[in-house]
């Protein structure tokens, strides 16, 4: 059984994951309209992945005797002035998500809820990957600068980008 405070904290994380899905979806739509098929493909896939993270939390809360809360979504407020600005926001958002997961882990340890602590380790590892991916993409964009040919190649590469090839 989840404690009231841990249930509330996980329900907050459900909203964080939902917001993450919306942010990626908004970025995907913008990239698609701009003609960047690779970036749009990547962003749509990330949006789906964030939704799966949310659903995993929903099911966990419900299985542990709590009640998952599904919050309203809001339109993401993003700076679309450049790809650099967009991906910088994405990286900063992933850092905030990591902080939120770390807070959950802290609460689970304070309450000696080792089942939840164990469950959350998947999210800890996932966030390491998410931050690394966002940082790698941002680094590539910074290397490209204003080179349109480089941006074209980057967009093409994004069709096949996933977190597993971050270190390659």
Binding residues for Fe cation: 17, 50, 53, 94, 127
Residue 21 Cα to chain centre, angstroms:
7
CB 15 within 8 A of CB 113: no
Token couple for 144: 């490209």
By the 8 A CB rule, do 37 and 77 touch?
A: no
* Residue 84 neighbours by CB under 8 Å, 6+ apart: 138, 141, 142
Q: How many CA atoms lie within 13 A of 28 on its CB side?
A: 16
Binding annotation: 17, 50, 53, 94, 127
Residue pair 130/11 in contact (Cβ under 8 Å)? The answer is: no
Cβ-in-10-Å burial (0-12, 13-18, 19+) of 132 comes to middle
């Amino acid at each position: 059984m989840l404690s009231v405070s841990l249930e509330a904290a996980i329900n907050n994380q459900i909203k964080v994951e939902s917001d993450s899905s919306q942010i990626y979806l908004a970025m995907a739509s913008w990239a698609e309209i701009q003609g960047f098929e690779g970036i749009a493909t990547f962003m749509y896939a990330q949006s789906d992945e964030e939704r799966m993270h949310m659903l995993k939390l929903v099911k966990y809360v419900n299985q542990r005797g709590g009640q998952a809360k599904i919050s309203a979504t809001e339109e993401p407020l993003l700076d679309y002035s450049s790809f650099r600005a967009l991906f910088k926001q994405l990286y900063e958002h992933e850092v905030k998500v990591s902080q939120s997961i770390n807070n959950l882990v802290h609460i689970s340890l304070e309450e000696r809820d080792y089942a939840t602590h164990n469950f959350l380790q998947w999210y800890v590892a996932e966030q390491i990957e998410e931050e690394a991916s966002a940082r790698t993409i941002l680094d590539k964009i910074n290397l490209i600068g204003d080179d349109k040919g480089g941006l074209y190649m980057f967009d093409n590469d994004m069709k096949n980008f996933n977190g597993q090839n971050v270190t390659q």
